[in-house]
Every structure is written in structure tokens, then in C-alpha cells.
A and B are shown apart, each in its own frame.
Chain A
């Protein structure tokens, strides 16, 4: 019966998709995320042949994920097709499942059905419905109770030609007292033309599970539109550290939600973005506490160059019955160009008593006194700015706890800064 459960789910999602208009997201009167330039009709799922080995993956993918022997598993989806799927035999021997979601529905239907879209719904809108109706390939991971994986489980969604519509779905379940690291990378080379990534990510941590989760998005300089929902649910006494890294995308609208669903659940959510050119980034995160005591800590940091726009809205929601919750949310943006615009909107909904919840947001520029200080040590103005920006991001980057990924992120940030060097120099010269 499981495949028919999936078929039913897809059919219901298709109805929503056909009924719903293409959305426009408006916020506080002046911030709008619109898809009016997206020519959705011209995009379609692109099929690709499976690759025979890791060595056949593109340089972009291999350089981003690193060597196979540093991973517990690797699934690479290019366009609509899984092109590479591998699990470390040692992990497989411990009962770990790491397989394309399509195949998981066939081979482990009952298990998948129990978790599939528990916290996601096609009714959320046109794109969540599109993803639920049209996804292909996908990724499924299941770490059995008490299993500890040292090396990361790695999922990659790659868009490698313009005209692609990619519908992606990752489902993960980490059993009680299991420990693992999960990475999902969304990558594209610099495409000449439009593409769409419509994504769904759901991860469930059972009692006492410990997970490090990282998302890395770098869609390159092409016109990739990313509309995704990512949700993490944390059960009793489980802990998740989630670090989403946004390094590029023409237009991104994402909802990133983390739910501490049961007593003792704890989450650390540290995010980073760097926008450039005419990129548009619209992030909405929710830190939802359904029971108490639970704890949370959210820190988002961004930097903007060019005429890019970034809006970050962070909501803390503590529902009735979640007494003794302690949670914090901070968001910071740093403007590196006079034409860039940033919005930071922390907000709070508390429906119960006896909690501590606080939030704060800043939009700032490079601190001139700090630049002067460094220059008095012989450091050039540009290097001083670079050091300040890297230092500003460092507390988030170091939260990755993954040296290879940390090096990758530091390297990409340094590249972006050096690309923007002239513009940043002009900006700071104007201000001093």
C-alpha cells in the first residue's frame, strides 16, 4: 500500500498547486518578494544519466563535498535525477539507510510513510504543493537508535543547466540517542539563464538524538530562484545544531523552522548569508517551542554588497503549555555597499508564562574606529575591512564544527569579498 499513499499525497498536492496563484510575499509595506520575472512555463525537470563513479562528478561537486572517504554517504541529484548514491559499507552495516527518497518509498515504504511530511504540508502554498506533487529523486536518511556516525551524510542538489525546474525533497529520521552529521548543499555553476529549485527538507530527531546539520546554498551567478521550506523537529532531550549558509542565489525565499517539540529539547540555530550583485534574499525563520522546558538560541549574520537585498525575519513562538522555555534570537546585517538594503525583523509570540525569551536585531556598517585601529597596525584599509567581515562571521562559521566545510565557507567568503573589493573600497573611502 505505501506507494499509493505517496500517489494520494501527490494528487492532493497537485490540486493545491493548480488552484493556488504564484505568490508574492509582502512584509511591513515596503518589502516585497515577487516572482514576476520568473518564466515558470519555460522551466522543466531535466533528466540526467546516473554516473558510474565519484570521479565522474563535476569539479564543483567534488571540490565542495570533499573526498568520499571523509563521508558516511553521498547522494547527488542533478536536475530531476539521482546521479550518484553511495553509502559507506560500515554505516550500512550499522543499519543506516541513506538512499534516494524515491527508492526508499519502494524499499522501506512503511518506515517512510510514518514520517513523510509529518511537519510539512502541501496546503502551505503553491511551491510547497509543487514540491510535494512533482519531486523526483530526493534523499532519505534513517539512523537507527543509538548508532553513532562519525562522518557526515551528504546530500547535494545540483542544477547544471539553465531551464531546469528542480523539485527536491529530503526526509531524515535520526533514532533515539543516535548521533550524526547531515549536510545538504544546493549548488550550481554560473548559469546563463533561469532555473528553479523548489525544495522541501524535513528532519526528525527522536528522543536524545544529537545532530549537527548544515545547509550550504551557492547557486552561482545565474538566475536561480530558490523557494524552499526546511523544518527540523526535535523530540525529548534531543539536540540539534543547525547552521544554514547562504552564499548566493538570484532570488531566494526560504522558511527555516525549528521545533522543540518535547521537554528537554535544545536547538542552536546559527545562520549566515552573503549577498552580492542584484541578489534578493528573503528568509523567514521560526523557533517554535511546543513544550517546556526547552531551550533555543538563534543567531543570524549577514553581509551585503552590490545592490543586493536581504530580509531576515526571525520569529520566536512559545505556545501554551511550553513553560520554562528559554530562548534567544539575534540577527545582524552588515552593509558593504551604499546600494545594498537589509532588513532585520525579530519578533516574538509568547502564549504562556514563566519563560525567558529575548530578541534583538541590528543593521550596521563597517565600524570606522575598528578600521582605524587596524590601520594603525600597518594593515591596509581593504584588509582591515576583510578581517572585520571575516571576524564578524567567524562565530557562526566555527559553529559548523566541521573543518572541511569551515574552510570551504571561509574561502568562498574571501572570494566574494575580493570580487567586491573595488566597490567596498569606494564605499568606505566615501564614508571616511
Chain B
């Protein structure tokens, strides 16, 4: 069971952002994808989920042998993919609870029972230390940065996907909020789930320790290793990778 990205080329408007990217995430593993701004990290996340603004010109996205490259985002979600957005959309007039129920039911043959849904929601809200009043608010409307990220991880917990992409989930979080969100993510890790944690900084990786680290530059993966690679980056910065890559190309 794995999410495979094969030789992915992606264009946005007239610019090629991803230029032959390969990545495998097996179920049960947590991978970190690091890179400077503009390296194509968010493009990869959006393309994995099928954002129509991103055009795949070459390569494939395969989940457990099923080619999802051309699938609509809702099909991908039902196949087991999830993304926690860096900047989630605001859905005015739709409460968190209503939205969660709709999303949970979208992935099921039969609608979830009210009682079962309530229990599931309460349990996950406790996990993420979310105030009960939160579920009555309109999704992301007037939410602080930390609330938005908690709402994203709450959806992750409720939908229980096989693979989750966390796109810069640490951005905009103070240390306390980062710890809460990270604890939540760690509680959701397990044999049945793979994670791709996309981040510019290493701070989230101190709480969510990955087994594998990939470094991205100019639309490709240029370095791969274990958690120690993140520590090197913390110390030396992206310029070090950039120089190494330039040197080996020359």
C-alpha cells in the first residue's frame, strides 16, 4: 500500500513548477518534504489533490496501484487521500459540525448515525483540545491561524484517510498551538496511515518526527535521507543544498 508520485511535471499558467518529481510514501510511514519558498512544495500538495488550476503535463499519481492522475478531487478523497491546507477556504453560513457531517457522509454508503457522529466528533475535539462551542461557528470564518489549523486536523481525524498531506501546517502557529496540533497528528499516526508533512522550517519536525526527509529545489527532489537531514538543514540552511546541487551539476 503506497502513494506513488512518478516523474511528475506540473504547469501553472505558463510556468513549469514541478519538473520530474518522484516520491513514494508507504502506509504507516511519515515523510517530511522540505524546501525553500518557491521550490514547488504547495504545487505538489495541490496536484496530489487534483486542484484544477494545476496542469499535469507528464507523470503519474498512483494510490495502491490506482492511477488518480486524472481523477476529480472528490474521487481522490474517497480513494483515501487528504490534504490539510495551508490557507483553508472560508465556508460562510456552514457550521463546523454541519460541514464535518457532510464530509463524513460523503465517504460512506449510509449516513452516519447522529449519536455515533456526536461521539466521534467529541472524541476528536478532546484530542485536539478544541472548545465545544467551536463546532457551531461557520467553518474558518473569523478563525485565528491556530483555529484554522486545528479545524484542518479535526477534519483529518474525522475522515481518517489512508494518506494525508499536511501543507505548511506549522505556519502561523505559536509554540503552544504547534504542540497541540502535533500531538493530534502523532495520535493519528499508525500502521494504517501515511503522512507527507510539507514544511519550510524544521520546527514541526521536532514534534512530528518523520522516518524520511526529502528536500525539494526548483521542482525536483534533490536530497533524501533520514531525520538527520532535517537537522542538517536546520543548521546550514537551504543555501547549503543549493550550492551542493550546483557543484554536482558543474
| A interface with B by C-beta (< 8 Å) | 367-370, 372-381, 383, 387-388, 390-395, 432
- Least CB distance from A153 to B in Å reads 29
- Given known pairs A375-B72, A377-B155, A378-B159, the reply for A368 and B52 (CB within 8 Å) is yes
List, sorted by A's number, 24 A–B pairs whose CB atoms are closer than 8 Å. Answer: A370-B90, A372-B52, A373-B88, A373-B89, A374-B89, A374-B103, A375-B50, A375-B74, A376-B74, A376-B81, A376-B85, A377-B77, A377-B102, A378-B74, A378-B78, A378-B103, A378-B106, A378-B107, A379-B106, A391-B94, A394-B93, A395-B92, A395-B93, A432-B52
Residues of chain B within 8 A (CB-CB) of A374 are: 89, 91, 103
Asked if B51 is an interface residue, CB under 8 A from chain A, the answer is yes
* Residue contact B74 to A380, C-beta cutoff 8 Å: yes
Residue of A nearest to B90 (CB): A370
Residue in A367, A369, A380 whose CB lies within 8 Å of B106:
A380
- Least CB distance from A343 to B in Å reads 22
Residues of chain A within 8 A (CB-CB) of B155 are: 377
Which has the most chain B C-beta neighbours within 10 Å: A379, A388, A390? A379
- Least CB distance from A332 to B in Å reads 11
Asked if B82 is an interface residue, CB under 8 A from chain A, the answer is yes
- A364 and B184 CA atoms in complex are apart in Å by 37
Residues of chain B within 8 A (CB-CB) of A388 are: 91
Residues of chain A within 8 A (CB-CB) of B88 are: 373
Other 11 A-B pairs with CB < 8 A, given A372-B73, A394-B94: A368-B52, A368-B53, A369-B89, A370-B90, A372-B89, A373-B88, A375-B50, A376-B85, A387-B102, A391-B91, A394-B93
- Least CB distance from B107 to A in Å reads 5
Residues of chain A within 8 A (CB-CB) of B53 are: 368
* Residue contact B77 to A370, C-beta cutoff 8 Å: no
Residues of chain B within 8 A (CB-CB) of A393 are: 93
The 0/1 profile, CB within 8 Å of A marked 1, for residues 26-52 of chain B is 000000000000000000000001111
- A394 and B92 CA atoms in complex are apart in Å by 8
Asked if B166 is an interface residue, CB under 8 A from chain A, the answer is no
- Least CB distance from A262 to B in Å reads 34
* Residue contact B102 to A375, C-beta cutoff 8 Å: no
Residues of chain B within 8 A (CB-CB) of A376 are: 49-50, 73-74, 76-77, 81-83, 85
Residues of chain A within 8 A (CB-CB) of B207 are: none
* Residue contact A379 to B74, C-beta cutoff 8 Å: yes
Asked if B143 is an interface residue, CB under 8 A from chain A, the answer is no
- A394 and B106 CA atoms in complex are apart in Å by 21
* Residue contact B106 to A383, C-beta cutoff 8 Å: yes
Residue of B nearest to A373 (CB): B89
Closest 3 CB pairs of A and B: A391-B93, A394-B93, A375-B73
- A391 and B72 CA atoms in complex are apart in Å by 23
- Given known pairs A378-B77, A378-B159, A380-B74, the reply for A392 and B52 (CB within 8 Å) is no
Asked if B138 is an interface residue, CB under 8 A from chain A, the answer is yes
Residues of chain B within 8 A (CB-CB) of A381 are: 72, 74
